Structure 1
Amino acid sequence: MKIHDEMSQISVPEDLDEKTYQSILSAEKTVQKNRFRKKCAWSVLSCLVIIFGIIHVANPAMAENIPIIGSVFSYIQDVIDFKGDYKKYATGTDERVQDHGITISMTEAYCDGANLFVSYVIESQKKFTEYSDNQIFQNQIGYEGITKIKSDDKIYSLNDCGAAGLTGKYVDENTFAGSQYFDLSGKEFPDQFQLEIYIYNVTLISENMKNQNISIWGQWKFSIPIQVNKEDVTMYEVNEWNEEYSIDEVIVTPIITTIKTTHPDIYRDNFNYDVLVYGDENGTEELTMQGFYDETKGVFKVSTKDIATDLYIYVIDESRMSKKKTDTDFREELEQRAIVRKVIHLQ
């Protein structure tokens, strides 16, 4: 039986609100096991596992008239963290779902083997400003749901890297264009897989944190085949060790450079472990955009567009450092006190 059929046969529980609340509490407890940091600010929304039947729209009139369909990544380049030539590598998709006056169109997808990028257009039959008297955040729309992939009868949960929502911007008063990216917590994606996304709440985020966010409840379900595109992807086996720390591997893709590390199991109760990345020998701008680690493994992300030719990687324990990252001579101390240091000359 196909996963579409399996999902559609599961009924929505009557006590949805209570189950949602309990799931949020459970998710918050689970996420505390991992350390996550991101240089840029974001709104964290809980991701829950609740499955619905979905109403598909065969010929929605609204999305077809939007000129950015098929080029969302290009349209939002100025506001997303990881910039790059998505158009060269992404594949167009054409799946749309409408419910409760909201049409969500999945427009493009690109998987480089280490990361998955998806773009959307969200359209409302009424103006987004009509949902609330409060000012809403202009560069993000949140959602609650579940994102998974299926390959060879195995299902894998996707890691949204701390931001359960779309980064982008409003095209007009009724339309938002945005994107989201995922990984498999450092694991490699299978060459082919089915992307399954189930959304049951679209959230308009209040610009003022004192005001309440606006939730639009509905049922939006997507299932599209994805073929990994490893064009212009280079893997560097590093295996640079010192003490019990190592830089294991560096994966350079057109959009994101991923650095995988290993460390001893001593960071359960503190945030001292970190990986810092610079683009040149004397640079002062630290490039790491996102990073997360568990008991012994770490995964850190850098925008490939920010790298010139060399990658300077430092593994540190902040308790061993005396300088602050903002100090002018921090880089000098970093050279002396980094536990592991490696320079990667990019091809």
Structure 2
Amino acid sequence: MGNSDISIKETLQEDVKIPEIVNDSLDEAYDKIRKDEVRMKSLRSRSKKRLYRKLGVAAAAACMVLVLTGVFFVNPALAKDIPILGDLFGRIQEIRDNHPYPEKDKTAYENIAKHSEPVKDPTNVAEDQGITMTVSDAYCDGYDLYFTLSLQTGDEELNAADQLNLLCYRDGDPIAFSAWLYVNGEETCSTYTLSPAKSEEGLFVALVRVPAMNIEAGKFPEDVTVSMDIGAVGAQKFDEPYHEEIKNYERVGYKCVEGSWKLQFKASSDTSQNRTAKPEAENNGFVVEEVTLTPSNAHMILHIPAEWEPKNPAVVLMDTQGNRVQDESEKIIKNDDGTEVRYITFDHSDANDFVLQMYDKNGEPDENGGPRMIAEIPFSVE
């Protein structure tokens, strides 16, 4: 063990307790930690800042990213216990809170973090062109799959970006597309493009979400294998003007690094925290068939009568305290008889009692000049 390794180890020991079984050498300790034979526990939260001050960001990151026989490994269980990259969920929430248009409520983020599990596959890390990508934690409730994705690089030009777009080239096409994912071998896509946002110098993070409505089965099975094949990284700044001279600039940005990053990990679908009700509640032909509340979202199966299908009525979900539960996305199935079924995903809600309101947004306004309500359906989820 070199002097630098000894220095890092001594500094780590001030912040985490290393069991005797792994105290013989740093290499042996790393190997046992990676294999989950032992687990390192934080002694006190206030020591986290001291570790950063002593090691600095680059050296601290080196403690988490371990180079073993030329292959990069990360023990994802350390993501929440050792203040190296810090709590990735905390970083993601901080980025979310600072964004002018946050895409998800804070409570849902906290629930996802609480119920997530560390990824333990050695293929959850890929390194090429000086860029390391890591999947640390995963959460799946049967309806949505979330996982934390971090990207580390020492490239100064890439580090000047606000976000990095993960891209792929297909069948010799010179145009780069947003990278896709595979769930149990089935090609699918995430809700948002794979674009980790800058957290600090050298580190970009993202919470990736894959809805089950994007896969054929409509729900995730108990055992899920996720794989990604990323072929390029494009760097973008939010305040940069559009560069027409750069082909495909909206994806590749001001700098694009081509390479090969193959990631694969396993996740388990845990439905134990879900609450499901089948109210079969009806009003004016509209039927709320099923509602499921998960730690991250609310999901509804809604039937639209044939006479209203062409008018595309608007859906508003309220809890009985008067709070609107915003809809996020929907999948529509049109039936031969003219009716349709909507599979709607809403924001997370802890409520038990709700009211679904349907509005004719294209018809004559009501007495107040607003859209006319055409149905109101109360229901409960215990």
- TM-score normalized with structure 1 length: 0.65
Q: How does 1:113-262 map to 2 (within 5 A)?
A: 113-127=142-156, 130-131=157-158, 136-137=161-162, 141=165, 143=167, 144-150=178-184, 155-161=185-191, 163-166=192-195, 169-185=197-213, 187-208=218-239, 210-211=241-242, 212=249, 213-214=253-254, 215-242=256-283, 245-262=286-303
Q: Output the CA distance in 1 between the equivalents of 2:294 and 2:70.
A: 35
Structure 1 residue 243: deviation in Å?
5.4
Q: Could you tell me how far apart the structure 1 residues matched to 2:132 and 2:341 are?
A: 39
Q: How far 1:208 sits from its partner (Å)?
A: 3.7
Could you tell me which of 338, 341, 345 is aligned with 2:374? 338
Name the one with the larger helix percent. Answer: 2
My pick for the range that moved more, 102-111 or 314-323, is 314-323
CA gap of 1:201–1:114, structure 2 versus 1, over 3 A, is same
What residue number does 1:290 align with?
Answer: 328
Distance 2:159 2:83 in 1: 27
Partner of 1:299: 343
TM-score (ref. length: structure 2): 0.59
Task: Return 5+ residue gaps in structure 1 as ranges.
Answer: 1-55
User: Do the aligned partners of residues 57 and 338 (structure 1) sit closer, same or farther apart at CA in structure 2, a change above 3 Å counting?
Assistant: farther
User: Could you say what secondary structure the match of 1:319 adopts?
Assistant: coil
Q: 1:131 to 1:122 in 2, by over 3 A?
A: closer
Structural RMSD (CA): 3.7
- C-alpha displacement of 1:60: 5.6
Q: Which has the larger radius of gyration?
A: 2
Give the corresponding residue for 2:320. Answer: 280
Q: Distance in 2 between matches of 1:190 and 1:277?
A: 28
Q: Please give the secondary structure, in 2, of the residue aligned with 1:320.
A: coil
Deviation at 1:312, TM superposition (A): 2.5
Bigger relative contact order, structure 1 or 2 (CA pairs below 8 A, ≥6 apart): 1
* Structure 2 gap segments, 5+ residues each: 1-68, 97-102, 168-177, 243-248, 335-339
Q: Is the 8 A contact 1:239 1:246 kept in 2?
A: yes
In structure 2, distance between residues paired with 1:318 and 1:113: 33
SS of the residue 2:90 aligns to:
helix
Which amino acid in 1 is paired with 2:228?
I
* Shift, 1:269, TM fit: 8.5
Instruction: Describe the shift of the 1:141–1:288 C-alpha distance in structure 2 as closer, same or farther (beyond 3 A).
Output: farther
**Distance in structure 2 (CA, Å) of the matches to 1:232 and 1:58:** 37
- Matched to 2:273, the amino acid is D
Q: Which residue of 2 aligns with 1:89?
A: 115
For residue 113 of structure 1, give the secondary structure of its aligned residue in structure 2.
coil
Q: Distance in 2 between matches of 1:209 and 1:262?
A: 45
Question: CA–CA distance in 2 between the matches of 1:308 and 1:318?
Answer: 27
SS at match of 1:195: strand
CA-CA distance at 1:244 after TM superposition: 5.3
Query: Which of 72, 76, 88 pairs up with 1:59?
Result: 72
Quick check: 92-101 or 287-296, which moved more?
Answer: 287-296
Distance in 1 (alpha carbons) for counterparts of 2:133 and 2:287: 43
Partner of 1:76, secondary structure, is helix
- Secondary structure of 1:275's counterpart equals strand
Deviation by residue 1:125-181 (Cα, 9 ceiling, x = unmatched):
213xx1497xx446x75542221211xxxx4343423x22246x4231211121111
**CA distance in 2: counterparts of 1:209 and 1:265, whole angstroms:** 48
- CA drift of 1:92 comes to 0.7
Identity within the alignment, %: 15
Q: Which of the pair is proportionally richer in strand?
A: 1
Structure 2 equivalent of residue 71 of structure 1: 87
Q: Distance in 2 between matches of 1:57 and 1:96?
A: 13
Structure 2 CA distance for aligned equivalents of residues 164 and 89 of structure 1: 24
Aligned position for 1:109: 138
Query: How many residue pairs were aligned?
Result: 269
